[in-house]
């Protein structure tokens, strides 16, 4: 099955790149890089997924599969990464055997040439971003934390919003290539700023989804035609991306797509950890995180985040 929807690509000079992690986000993101004409080497913890990706994009510029992150990074100008969490990120960047900041034999940093840029699209902590930024700098490399928003559909359509932290020079080197899968690619500040911006995004999303869930549940209990209600109120101050893209599916009790509850709980855990460090007060976010825990207990780990409404029915 083709995981990448067709789009137009801005002409950019072809680069040698690597992509580490071919999950529901990374697979189509790497595909857009290949279709844009870049020479892409991929690594995935499950080799069969990388083999399938290479077969799907065999008509692009000789895609290659690597056995380790280090092999994938050899000779690359840019190394893109999209994995699960802080531990996974350290593993692919620094090597499986490492517990600290030195290079490991199998980590991508060990294979990267001086001056190459590692662009991390994982939603991770700001602390690990700063840690890997420092480790990269010690080896003459660059590290950009660049979490994304837009979900699986955004990755497939090449329309992700990317929030970056790091040096301006590294950002500028990555931006024209990353625009193959992005609609916006913005430098937010120093190392860690991308991850912190993603946390702001997730706080806002959680509140919007809970508000929409309560509104729909209220309307249904009141006997209203919620399809008509949403059509009307989406033209006013209540309008949001969540209402436009998830309102009707929430009414229809459909939650088999989009951003999974497990992922949102991971992200909100990062948010709440950071808030404890910086002193921010997030009472609504903490409560909604527990609401998502309720959904997990209902068996909704892989349901879309709009499944918050299930608690209210």
The model's pLDDT over 10-51, given as tens digits with 9 standing for 90+, comes to: 888 899 999 999 999 999 999 999 999 999 999 999 999 999
Structure tokens at 177: 């290539």
Percent of the chain whose pLDDT exceeds 90: 91
Distances (CA, A) of 245 to 100, 238, 241, 271, 310: 43, 13, 6, 24, 17
Q: Is 275 left (phi over 0), alpha (psi -120 to 50) or beta?
A: alpha
One of 3.40.50.1970, 3.40.50.1820, 2.30.40.10, 3.40.50.720 is the CATH number of 16-190, namely 3.40.50.720
Burial category of 162 from C-beta neighbours within 10 Å (exposed 0-12, middle 13-18, buried 19 and up)? buried
Lowest mean pLDDT among 98-107, 121-130, 262-271: 98-107
Nearest to 183 by CA among 34, 80, 41, 29: 29
Per-residue pLDDT, 2:
52
57 has a pLDDT exceeding 80: yes
Which one has a higher pLDDT value, 291 or 8?
A: 291
Cβ proximity of 129 and 136 under 8 Å: no
Lowest mean pLDDT among 96-100, 128-132, 157-161: 96-100
Which one has a higher pLDDT value, 162 or 5?
A: 162
pTM here? 0.94
Average pLDDT, the chain: 95
**Distance between CA atoms of 59 and 286, rounded to whole angstroms?**
47
Percent of the chain whose pLDDT exceeds 70: 96
CATH topology of domain 197-312: 1.10.1040
The model's pLDDT over 73-90, given as tens digits with 9 standing for 90+, comes to: 999 999 999 999 999 999
Lowest mean pLDDT among 101-115, 147-161, 206-220: 101-115
109 Cα distance to chain centroid: 21
Identify the bridge partners of residue 17 per DSSP, sorted by sequence position: 40, 78
In the chain, ranges of CATH 3.40.50.720 domains: 16-190
Catalogue the E-assigned strands of the chain. Answer: 16-20, 39-43, 64-65, 78-81, 117-120, 142-145, 148-149, 160-165, 182-189
- The stretch 215-221 carries a mean pLDDT of 98
- The stretch 169-191 carries a mean pLDDT of 98
Per-residue pLDDT, 105:
85
Position 260 confidence tier, pLDDT thresholds 50, 70, 90: very high
Position 100 confidence tier, pLDDT thresholds 50, 70, 90: very low
Per-residue pLDDT, 61:
87
Per-residue pLDDT, 117:
98
The model's pLDDT over 162-176, given as tens digits with 9 standing for 90+, comes to: 999 999 999 999 999
214 has a pLDDT exceeding 80: yes
Per-residue pLDDT, 104:
67
Rounded-to-5 percentages of helix, strand, coil across the chain = 50, 15, 35
Phi/psi for 165 (5° steps) reads -130, 140
Annotated catalytic residue: which of 49, 198, 248, 266?
198
The β-bridge relationship of strands 160-165 and 148-149 is antiparallel
Nearest to 12 by CA among 36, 41, 40, 39: 36
Asked about 235 being catalytic, the answer comes back as no
In the chain, ranges of CATH 1.10.1040.10 domains: 197-312
Structure tokens at 145: 């934390």
Per-residue pLDDT, 96:
64
97 has a pLDDT exceeding 60: no
């Amino acid at each position: 099955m083709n995981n990448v929807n067709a789009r137009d690509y801005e002409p950019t000079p072809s680069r040698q790149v690597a992509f580490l992690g071919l999950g529901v986000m990374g697979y189509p993101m790497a595909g857009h890089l290949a279709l844009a004409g870049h020479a892409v080497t991929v690594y995935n913890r499950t080799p069969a997924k990388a083999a399938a990706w290479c077969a799907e994009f065999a008509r692009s510029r000789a895609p290659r599969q690597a056995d380790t992150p280090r092999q994938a990074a050899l000779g690359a100008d840019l190394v893109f990464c999209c994995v699960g969490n802080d531990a996974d990120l350290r593993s692919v960047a620094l090597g499986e055997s490492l517990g600290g900041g030195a290079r490991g034999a199998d980590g991508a940093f060990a294979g990267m040439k001086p001056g190459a840029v590692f662009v991390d699209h994982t939603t991770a902590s700001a602390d690990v971003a700063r840690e890997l930024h420092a480790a990269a700098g010690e080896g003459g490399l660059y590290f950009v934390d660049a979490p994304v928003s837009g979900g699986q559909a955004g990755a497939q359509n090449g329309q992700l919003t990317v929030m970056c932290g790091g040096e301006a020079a590294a950002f500028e080197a990555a931006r024209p290539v990353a625009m193959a899968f992005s609609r916006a690619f913005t430098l937010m500040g120093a190392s860690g700023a991308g991850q912190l911006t993603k946390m702001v995004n997730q706080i806002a999303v959680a509140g919007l989804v809970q508000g929409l869930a309560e509104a729909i549940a209220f309307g249904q209990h009141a006997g209203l035609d919620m399809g008509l209600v949403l059509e009307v109120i989406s033209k006013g101050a209540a309008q949001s991306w969540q209402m436009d893209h998830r309102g009707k599916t929430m009414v229809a009790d459909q939650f088999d797509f989009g951003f999974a509850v497990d992922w949102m709980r991971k992200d909100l855990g990062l948010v709440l950890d950071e808030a404890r460090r910086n002193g921010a007060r997030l009472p609504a976010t903490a409560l909604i995180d527990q609401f998502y825990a309720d959904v997990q207990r209902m068996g909704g780990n892989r349901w879309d985040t709009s499944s918050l409404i299930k608690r209210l029915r």
